[in-house]
């Protein structure tokens, strides 16, 4: 019996059995080229090259079968020991969310939160269960990356709060419901 092929963006968002989220990597840690998955083309598209000296601090991806306030799948910054290639599905546990307001070039604003998760296979971050388990310097650098990244695009990214895994899961559940309505 042949299996039906599904787009990466249509995979399950949550693995209920293991109480994890599924993260599809778009851009690996250390990369300067921002990739984005294009579900219509079924491939990754180069979207932006960061300036010299700026790179992604950790792997960056999305949770499939979710739709956020910006109409795209929810973004996730993934703490993992070693960068993994674009297109890799990585089971992860949520540790929190950086809640933020993003102001576009035209002056319009929207919520554009950044979920933070730890890969379940990670040994280096195995003991990280919440933001408080990370040094303040790491959290500050993550926030600064998102501020600088948006600044490069002529946008303003303003972190408004750091919330824990429960709030992050609530946002994921809401985004799953929103995706089902599409």
Please state the φ and ψ torsions of residue 90, each to the nearest 5 degrees: -125, 115
pLDDT band (50, 70, 90) for residue 2: low
| pTM for this model (two decimals) | 0.93
Sign for the pseudo-dihedral over CA of 137, 138, 139, 145: positive
Q: Is 158 exposed, middle or buried (0-12, 13-18, 19+ CB in 10 A)?
A: middle
pLDDT digits (tens, 9 = 90+) for 134-177: 999 999 999 999 999 999 999 999 999 999 999 999 999 999 99
Q: CB neighbours (10 Å) of residue 15? A: 13
Q: Please give the C-alpha separations between residue 3 and each of 41, 77, 104, 154, in angstroms, as whole numbers.
A: 20, 31, 42, 44
pLDDT over 70 percentage in the chain: 97
Q: What is the CA radius of gyration of the chain?
A: 16
Q: What is the mean pLDDT of residues 25-47?
A: 96
Longest dimension (CA), the chain: 53
| pLDDT bracket for residue 70 (50, 70, 90) | confident
What structural domains and CATH numbers belong to the chain? 8-174 (3.90.80.10)
- Residues 102-125 have pLDDT tens digits of 999 999 999 889 999 999 999 999
Q: CA-CA distance, 41 to 77, in Å (whole number)? A: 24
């Amino acid at each position: 019996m042949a299996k039906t092929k599904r787009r990466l963006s249509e995979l399950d968002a949550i693995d209920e059995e293991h109480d994890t989220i599924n993260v599809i990597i778009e851009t690996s840690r250390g990369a300067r080229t921002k990739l984005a998955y294009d579900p219509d083309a079924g491939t990754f598209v180069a979207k932006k090259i960061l300036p010299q000296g700026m790179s992604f601090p950790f792997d960056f991806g999305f949770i499939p079968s979710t739709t956020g306030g910006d109409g795209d799948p929810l973004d996730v910054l993934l703490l993992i020991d070693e960068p993994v290639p674009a297109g890799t599905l990585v089971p992860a546990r949520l540790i929190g969310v950086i809640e933020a307001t993003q102001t576009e070039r035209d002056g319009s604003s929207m919520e554009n939160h950044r979920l933070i998760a730890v890969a379940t296979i990670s040994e280096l971050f195995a003991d990280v269960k919440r933001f408080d388990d990370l040094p303040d310097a790491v959290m500050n650098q993550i926030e600064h990356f998102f501020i600088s990244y948006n600044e490069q695009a002529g946008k303003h990214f303003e972190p408004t709060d750091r919330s824990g895994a429960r709030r992050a899961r609530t946002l994921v559940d809401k985004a799953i419901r929103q995706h089902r309505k599409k």
